[in-house]
Amino acid sequence: MSASVTECTNLLGLPRPALEAYVAQLGSKPFRARQLMNWIYKRGAGSFADMTDLAKELRARLTAAAEVRAPQIVSVQRSADGTRKWLLKADAAQAFEMVFIPEPDRGTLCISSQVGCALDCSFCATAQQGFNRNLSTAEIVGQVWLAARELEREEQQRLGAGAPTAPAAPGDERHVTNVVLMGMGEPLANFRNVVPALDILLDDFGFDLSRRRVTLSTSGLVPQIYRLAEETNVALAVSLHAPDDALRNELVPINRKHPIAQLLQACWHYLDEGNGRSVTFEYVMLDGVNDSPAQARALARLLKGHPAKVNLIPFNTFPGTRYRCSSVSAIQRFRDELLQRGLLATIRRTRGDDIDAACGQLAGRVIDRTTVRLGNKLIGVAVQP
């Protein structure tokens, strides 16, 4: 992964071994890479001139050959509940989104892995945009780096260093403590760029996040789950949304290639490799579609006896959708059916829906797109090895 010193290299895209190789090409010792990571990720520095414990000669070489470049902000929206949504520039025509959700005990950043998505889940706004391209490692890591800087800037303004910002809800965390790959795109379809990004998020000299505070959500690319088990140990979330193959084929078309039994086998293997204590199964609540007590009981039978959590997600509407959210009573009844059968089940609190930042609402701006519908060609087109 080392880069030529004649190119302008974005250091945000380099995990520690690659960064060590890069600084070696510049004639410096490997420990300089650790210093660089400390400046970039711990202190949020974007200018080599600010990295005062680096030798002047190295700073000069870095200035000439490298950069720290995050995605460019196109717009920012703030929800009444404190949620922020950033629209970020991918190129002249394309844009993708990330969302920060402040809560009393954590600050969760939801990041994207692709511009659009090719998996065509019928209840998801992102899927309706089509697919343009994978995000690079630098673009994935750059979202976290950018959000940390923006939140720090807001905090300084709030404390009086500049114009005041709207106060957050009492007790809400104002910094990134958790990162979830649940934004635009299917992370495992961009495996080559996502895994190095995860390395940087977990690295002691990177963002130094606990593996339990980084969650990758997948629609169910089974071969990539097996590969992921060998590469990392972040928390795993799976978009299940149905207790049987017939319905999941309709809601999550990748199920036609990797049915539920194969998917669950891959999930239990992921845990067997020491990658966490449970898998979270996401289940969007769709009125009259997947929310009956009988379906809850079927879901409980499917997961019973395994280390599983179920996160029930009230459906968030978007233009053109044919679905409606289940009633509050139906969602609570579904949860109670699961709890009575020994499954841990929670109901996700909807955040940011007034700015279309809630789960399933991210759409970005995917203009130059390749609309891919599920079929035998999907894996060859959409999944990057």
Residues designated catalytic: 97, 359
* CA pair distance 120, 370, nearest whole angstrom: 12
Please report which helix (H) or strand (E) contains residue 102, including its range.
strand 95-103
| One-letter identity of residue 218 | T
Q: For the purposes of burial, counting CB atoms within 10 Å of the CB of 333, is it exposed (0-12), middle (13-18) or buried (19 or more)? A: middle
Task: Assess contact for 252 and 231: CB atoms under 8 A.
Answer: no
Query: Largest Cα–Cα distance of the chain, in whole Å?
Result: 69
Segment 77-80 long-range contacts (CB within 8 Å, at least 24 positions apart): 77/355, 77/357, 78/166, 78/355, 79/351, 79/352, 79/353, 79/354, 79/355, 79/357, 80/354
Q: How far apart, in whole angstroms, are the C-alpha atoms of residue 8 and residue 83?
A: 35
DSSP classification of residue 306: S
Q: Is 299 exposed, middle or buried (0-12, 13-18, 19+ CB in 10 A)?
A: buried
Specify burial of residue 368 (Cβ count, 10 A radius: 0-12, 13-18, 19+).
middle
What is the rounded distance in angstroms from the CA atom of residue 16 to the CA atom of residue 30? Answer: 9
| Token duo for residue 326 | 């289940």
**Contact 87/364 with Cβ under 8 angstroms?**
yes
> For residue 320, is it left (φ>0), alpha (ψ between -120 and 50) or beta?
left
353/357 Cα distance (integer angstroms): 5
One-character DSSP codes across 159-195: IIISS--PPPPTT---S--EEEE-SSS-GGGBHHHHH
